[in-house]
Amino acid sequence: MKERIEKLLADVEAFKAEKIEEVEQLRIKILGKKGELNELFASFKEVANDQKKEVGQLLNQLKVKTQERIVELSSSFAQKEEKGDNFLDLSLPISDDNLGSRHPLSIVKNEIIDIFSRIGYSISEGPEIEDDWHNFSALNFPKEHPARDMQDTFFIDKEHALRTHTSSVQVRVMENSTPPIRTISPGRVFRNEAISARAHCIFHQVEGLYIDKNVSFADLKQTLLYFAKEMFGEKTEIRLRPSYFPFTEPSAEVDVSCNICSGKGCNVCKHTGFLEILGCGMVDPNVLENCGIDSKVYTGFAFGMGVERIAMLKYQINDLRMFFENDIRFLNQFKSTI
């Protein structure tokens, strides 16, 4: 893989274009949805552990170099249009007042993805309409099991429903991959809940999965501590509390020290100094066996977090509904100032 990345880097640096269409072809080839870069990221899990840091740096270098080269070449094709004494200078910067803004959920989701990408996690996606096997049964939710009542589901028919979590994507990954597996699954999920300041029938999750030989709960804790510090700051602390999920055993809820009061206690954290952000645990052996993975050879951990929950903590937003109302006054607060 290293040789392939270095060859692409050399090709990008030496690339010359005679027309703007060739620049677009380069962008699609390297940065497109089915481009070289996404293929390399998908294969990253196969890289030996002692080479992951070097290869990861090369991948980031390839992405940055390609983006810079495309901008450079595109700028060179910008031409002045002259009409009498008037002309249009395409190189002039636009007014800051016309800049759009990313949705806060997109900002937070991309930041979460970036954090886990830096430690070797690939991105996996799946359908929003799921069958019973991938959404429930494979995850240790047998038919008529009371744990199914933990999630109020939008059923389409007896065998299909709108997915209630992105764990269904992890099942598909396990069914079609050979360990080691290290992936995160961002996506939209649906639950039949009353809409309020703290709940919604539509929300977003990022779930993570790591399966390999000799994976322990200590690995899980250290991974989540790294994430918390990267997302909320170096002084952030985490706390794990015992919990229950059908697809993990043991299971835990994870709290982070309140970034509003710095852990001293306030109304937001109910004077505990901590706020809950995600659930996690070691993958239940039954789930591994359901997906064709030998639970006597491999172990793993999984975790899942709500993007809205992280965004509310990060930006100190107290009403979940604001993310879905498309109020320009709210969205303008996230407008880029670059």
Q: Tens of pLDDT along 19-71? A: 888 888 888 888 888 888 888 888 878 888 888 888 888 888 888 888 888 88
Q: Give the start-end residues of each E strand in the chain.
A: 81-83, 86-88, 122-123, 129-131, 160-162, 181-190, 202-212, 238-245, 248-257, 274-283, 299-306
Mean pLDDT of 68-82: 71
In one letter, which amino acid is 57?
Q
Q: Check pLDDT > 60 for residue 122.
A: yes
Report all structural domains of the chain as residue ranges with CATH numbers, in order of start: 2-78 (no CATH), 104-334 (3.30.930.10)
Q: Measure the CA–CA gap between 210 and 182, rounded to whole angstroms.
A: 4
Among residues 172, 177, 223, 214, which one has the least CA distance to residue 44?
Answer: 177
Task: Provide the CB-side half-sphere exposure for 9 (13 A, CA).
Answer: 16
Percent of residues, the chain, with pLDDT higher than 90: 41
- Predicted pLDDT of residue 84: 44
Q: Tens of pLDDT along 81-91? A: 344 445 566 77
Q: What is the pTM of this model?
A: 0.66
Q: Measure the CA–CA gap between 40 and 325, rounded to whole angstroms.
A: 38
Q: Point out the least confidently predicted range of 25-29, 129-133, 278-282, 314-318.
A: 314-318
CB 194 within 8 A of CB 90: no
Q: Measure the CA–CA gap between 205 and 109, rounded to whole angstroms.
A: 9
Q: Tens of pLDDT along 200-241? A: 889 999 999 999 999 999 999 999 999 999 998 898 899 999
Chain mean pLDDT for the chain: 86
Task: Determine the 3-state secondary structure of 273 from DSSP.
Answer: coil
| Residues contacting 163, CB < 8 A, separation 6+ | 126, 127, 128, 129, 130, 135, 187, 189, 190
